[in-house]
Structure 1
Amino acid sequence: MSSVPQPPRWDVHRLPRARGRNFLVTGGNAGIGYFVAEQLAGTGATVVLGSRDRAKAEAAIGSIGSRVPGARVKHMPLDLADLDSLKASVDALGLDRLDAVVLNAGVALDRPPRRATGDGHELMFGTNHLGHFALTNHLAPLLTATPGSRIVTTGSFAAKSERLDLDDLQSTHDYRPKRAYARSKLAQMLFALELDRRLRAAGSTTLSVLVHPGGALDSLTPSRPPLHVRTTGERLSRLPLGLLVQGKDAAAWPAVQAVLDPSVHGGRMLSPRAFGLRGAPRIEPLWSHLADTTTAARLWTASRDLTGHDPTFTAPARSGGTEGPAAGPGEADASTG
């Protein structure tokens, strides 16, 4: 009797090669986004850091280059709070295909007053959700030109206990910073799932995958000077917390797997294995309110009206043969992530 071969278990420390592929990471200059970029660069891919701060992006590129010999990393100016600037940012990429984008950048405020973007949107909702919604629209042609491309959206555990107020998406009437942040992340997560439903309905090969990084602390994160420096005292004092949460290097693992793992399907959510807070990634059942398709569809309509954009994907044109990525995610050659 023959057995059906099983795909190899995903190893966060032994990533498949991806030379010839192009990945964009928004907010790739710092925090979790930096480690997503560093780990993806280790596969041989070209990684683009989307960041509004050129100096920080250059520091991140230098740090990655010092740890990944021959790293192919570059900067794309990106200000998600300025919707009118996004098309020029994408045009400046100079790419004819994009294998994956990780929608990771975000802003979090912890105290009043309520702040707004230049477009008049509440800052966290406008940046974290509306900015990525509009960016996805501008990236659609590049992603459509790449069979099997992926849109990976970074959610947050903070969104698990929140619900959207569709009558006050901009927190105009009742602004509470931490709640507004959690709702902006919930909006991103609902967007990711609604996007995948629309991609499937359109017959597109592009996948939309949702991830959340769990609990991540700077004190458990390896130093990456000058971006982040962890003292010995900080590391030792926080060691007990390592039983519950993790560093930002490990928090990057779900997004990296969502980009590279050929077994990952659209409309799924990857999260840390241990209670959604730490450990290697796994597929996590969708939280009950994430399965609310009515709210997700209404949010999409509201986002379209607020941004003037409606991300649309079509099935790629068929030619004489099926052409896959230049270097697929399932190659046997591996590198250390």
Structure 2
Amino acid sequence: MSSAFSTPPWDVQRLPRADASVFLITGGNAGIGYFVAEQLSATGATVLLGSRNPAKAEAAEASIRARVPGARVRTVRLDLADLSSLETTVESVGVEHLDAVVHNAGVALDDPPRKETEDGHELMFGTNHLGHFALTRWLMPLLSAAPAARVVTTGSFAAKSERLDLDDLQSRKDYRPKRTYGRSKLAQMYFGVELDRRLRAAGSTVTSVVVHPGGALDSLTPSRPPVHERTTGARLRTAPAALLVQGKHAGAWPAVRAVLDPTVRGGQLWGPRVFGLRGEPRRERVWNHLADPSFAARLWDTSCDLTGVDPAAVPG
């Protein structure tokens, strides 16, 4: 039988079962992360909602249980801005293996002033990139205990037009909130690509995939009270935008496919089908600036220095 018949087309509305799998979603209490968790819960998997806010995480858990009968979902206290807490957090998750982690959580500041984490790192770079970088190191034994685990890193379409300055990763010289956010997401994407390269070299069974949600707006996102409530006014005002972008429920699709689809391979980039902004998920060519291994290696080494850990140094 040909592969065209043995592998059915991907359907975002009919996901494959994953009953024995365990997935961790960082930032699973809101936005795209919530919808990644909701959709993965419908596959029968055990889904862990990583969140620094217990009340919001509990609300998200209740919302998923209300929409997905029999959902196996629970919360995990996770603060990516506190690097010293991550080892203890992973020790407390209470699972024997992890089939995938979706690095989704992200801080996005709209206005000055520049802020720092407890470790002295610029808040967006320190949380979005360094937090996930360090978390991966502590998760690697659980990922390696699964047959073929995946690290799925959620970047941003905004990162496509950004470039990193290795001499100013903390945005001390050039701090502009939206640009600093885009650069932090670009750093995450470099991490995802370079992680897979290093895992392959080490012969690991773990793979790393990078995704982005395209253009995902709250106003085009279906309501999930109290996690998200869309007003009629907002929906009407932004209805024309639906020709170009989509809601956060659809922004979750590339990450969900990267977790579940057996045809997805490490080192790939996945995003929305239509101009990279909306539609069902498809594989994209890795962006030119992401495909520079020497730059990625330098960023990796700097990240190791800043966090004190190396995610690829753990046997897997």
The answer to whether the superposition gives a TM-score over 0.5 is yes
Question: 1:54 is aligned with what amino acid?
Answer: P
Could you list the per-position Cα deviations for residues 186-231 of structure 1 after superposition, in whole angstroms to 9, with x for gaps in the alignment? 0000000000000100111111000000001111000000111112
Asked if the contact 1:215–1:277 (Cα under 8 Å) also holds between the matched residues in 2, the reply is yes
Asked if the contact 1:108–1:181 (Cα under 8 Å) also holds between the matched residues in 2, the reply is yes
Moved more, 229-238 or 43-52: 229-238
Residue in 1 aligned with 2:298?
A: 298
Residue in 2 aligned with 1:162?
A: 162
Residue in 2 aligned with 1:289?
A: 289
Residue in 1 aligned with 2:233?
A: 233
Structure with more relative contact order (C-alpha pairs < 8 Å, separation 6 or more): 1
Question: 1:257 is aligned with what amino acid?
Answer: R
CA distance in 1, matches of 2:228, 2:176: 29
The normalised TM-score by structure 2 is 0.98
CA distance in 1, matches of 2:257, 2:244: 21
Asked if the contact 2:137–2:314 (Cα under 8 Å) also holds between the matched residues in 1, the reply is no
Question: 1:165 is aligned with what amino acid?
Answer: D
Which contiguous aligned blocks of 4+ residues in structure 1 show a shift greater than 6 angstroms?
Answer: none
The normalised TM-score by structure 1 is 0.92
Asked if the contact 1:152–1:209 (Cα under 8 Å) also holds between the matched residues in 2, the reply is yes
Q: CA deviation at 1:111?
A: 1.5
Report 1:97-246 matches (<5 A): 97-246=97-246
Which has the larger Rg? 1
- CA change 1:313–1:100 in 2 (3 A) is farther
CA distance in 1, matches of 2:204, 2:261: 19
CA distance in 2, matches of 1:207, 1:22: 16
- Gaps in structure 2 of 5+ consecutive residues: none
Asked if the contact 1:204–1:314 (Cα under 8 Å) also holds between the matched residues in 2, the reply is no
Report 1:260-271 matches (<5 A): 260-271=260-271
Asked if the contact 1:222–1:247 (Cα under 8 Å) also holds between the matched residues in 2, the reply is yes
Determine which structure has the larger helix proportion and give its number. Answer: 2
- Gaps in structure 1 of 5+ consecutive residues: 317-337
Corresponding position: 1:10 with 2:23: no
Asked if the contact 1:199–1:313 (Cα under 8 Å) also holds between the matched residues in 2, the reply is no
Residue in 1 aligned with 2:83?
A: 83
Question: 2:275 is aligned with what amino acid?
Answer: F
How many residue pairs match? The answer is: 315
Asked if the contact 1:144–1:314 (Cα under 8 Å) also holds between the matched residues in 2, the reply is no
Asked if the contact 2:140–2:314 (Cα under 8 Å) also holds between the matched residues in 1, the reply is no
Asked if the contact 1:205–1:315 (Cα under 8 Å) also holds between the matched residues in 2, the reply is no
CA distance in 1, matches of 2:221, 2:48: 22
- SS of residue matched to 2:312: coil
Residue in 2 aligned with 1:27?
A: 27
Q: CA deviation at 1:255?
A: 0.2
Cα RMSD for the two superposed structures: 1.1
Asked if the contact 1:204–1:313 (Cα under 8 Å) also holds between the matched residues in 2, the reply is no
